[in-house]
Structure 1
Amino acid sequence: MEESTMNRSKAKPGKEARIAAKEPLPAPPVPKKLPFFKRLFKKQPNIFLTLIRQQAQITLEGLDALSNFMETQDPKAEALLTSKEKEADEVRRILIYELNKTFITPFDREDIFSLSRAIDDVLDYAYSTVTEIDILRVKPTPYMARMASLLRDAAFELNAAANRLEDHPGVASEHAQRAKALENRVEAVYREALADLFTGAEDIKHVVKMLKSREVYRHLSNAADRGDEAANLIADIVIKTT
């Protein structure tokens, strides 16, 4: 009799036990979704603007290395500039590939191509400057250091303009104007350097040294010209798209 009672008590669990056995585990929280129309019209990152920003950032890093090299003649700065020039070339190749396969672009495709090329040219001329210094065995002068420093500042403004172009075009235009002003300062130092360079030539050795230095100055001046063109293109894009 006792065994039967014990079996019944085991077979019939209490009310709390039955509830615990039947109660399902809590479901994991469901992540909130954006409303349909917000998902539909959510702005997606644009590949061309992303690549332009990458180019501008790499160019800034390369110009910073150029300025450092002019001040210190550190081989590590030269190696960094060489690396950045190759990195920027690859980004430009990707941009051209995307441009060729894309039908709709955020602004005129010719402007995209030209802006990318102008930014790329700035870094190319910076790289050529260091290459010429090595080949011609030119010792960097204070004028070269000043021009390189101003070019780095101009690259900073171009990078800021590229980053503001999509969401704050008016601010991008302001940065572009600052880059243009810095280009004018580079040209002023360039003319000052040439005037000093061609003063008081005494012999053929001095003339050869002048011609070598002029080549380096010319590359720096060309870098400034291409930076000015990039700034003009950014200003034009702002006018066309606002």
Structure 2
Amino acid sequence: MPARLSHLFRDLSGRNDQVLAALILDQLSAAADGVGLATALARGELPPGVARSRIGEIEHEGDTRRGLLVAQLRRSVSSPIDREDLFRLSRSVDDVLDAVRDFIREADLFAPRGQGAYQPVLDALARGVGELGEAVRLLPRAPREAAEHALRAKKQGLRTQYQYAVSALLDLPLTADTVKATLLLCRLDTAGVHLATAADALADGVVKRFQ
């Protein structure tokens, strides 16, 4: 079968929707690996220099997976949601990983004392990434359920945990370490903002196409 006809058949059969969703899941897997690495760093289970080296590898993998998605979109006639929303979803997942990368790099550069402030925020981020992954898994076959999981990804309490952590730091004497910790918390908050944008892209795409 000629390549163009093969792509068209896959699009019309719905197979392409599954391929595109799988590629975004690959991106989310890289983001989850990055969050896991940041968590190990925050718990003191991994030296900052080692975490910084590993996040570079994970970021490269995430970029490769995003490149595969963009290439697949160019060849595709159909997609599970509008291409613009799917592209925005993919880009925002990439931004989540970038923010986590910045957290790890700056943790290595700043070398702050104590890592306890970050754990609740990282836990919320991990839950949000997991919920978004479930949303993407459901997207080809159950788009409305996918949209519900996307909304749950935004409601894991990340911003609240960030605010609590910053408030606790502001109650402490102003030192270089409290400033460093506040800056690092801002990186995790940024990751949460990008995660919310990714969730909105998926939910908006479902609304536009199916409701």
> AA paired with 2:115?
T
User: Of 31, 34, 57, which aligns to 2:29?
Assistant: 57
Q: Percent identity?
A: 27
How far off its partner does 1:143 sit? 2.2
- Deviations, residues 125-179 of structure 1 (Å, cap 9, x unaligned): 1111011100011235322011111111111111111111111112212211211
The equivalent of 2:39 in structure 1 is 67
CA contact (8 A) 1:157 1:176 kept: yes
How far off its partner does 1:119 sit? 0.6
The equivalent of 2:132 in structure 1 is 158
> AA paired with 2:16?
P
TM-score of the superposed pair, with normalisation by structure 1: 0.73
The equivalent of 2:61 in structure 1 is 87
Cα distance, 1:77–1:97 mapped onto 2, change above 3 Å: same
> AA paired with 1:63?
V
Matched, 1:45 2:16: yes
For 2:70 and 2:16, the matched residues in 1 are separated by 18
> AA paired with 1:222?
T
For 2:140 and 2:16, the matched residues in 1 are separated by 10
For 1:126 and 1:94, the matched residues in 2 are separated by 22
The equivalent of 2:158 in structure 1 is 186
Deviation >3 Å, runs of 4+: 75-82
Matched, 1:102 2:70: no
Q: Is the radius of gyration larger for structure 1 or structure 2?
A: 1
The equivalent of 1:208 in structure 2 is 176
CA contact (8 A) 2:112 2:180 kept: yes
For 1:146 and 1:160, the matched residues in 2 are separated by 21
The equivalent of 1:16 in structure 2 is none
TM-score of the superposed pair, with normalisation by structure 2: 0.83
Q: Which runs of 5+ in 1 are unaligned?
A: 1-38
CA contact (8 A) 2:103 2:188 kept: yes
The farther-off stretch of 211-220 and 78-87 is 78-87
CA contact (8 A) 1:160 1:175 kept: yes
For 1:166 and 1:59, the matched residues in 2 are separated by 21
Paired residues, number = 198
CA contact (8 A) 2:158 2:189 kept: yes
Matched, 1:223 2:191: yes
For 2:145 and 2:120, the matched residues in 1 are separated by 27
Cα distance, 1:122–1:77 mapped onto 2, change above 3 Å: same
> AA paired with 1:56?
L
CA contact (8 A) 2:52 2:105 kept: no
For 1:92 and 1:189, the matched residues in 2 are separated by 30
Select the structure with the greater relative contact order (CA < 8 A; seq sep ≥ 6). Answer: 2
Say which SS state the counterpart of residue 72 (structure 1) adopts: coil
User: Of 108, 120, 123, which aligns to 1:146?
Assistant: 120
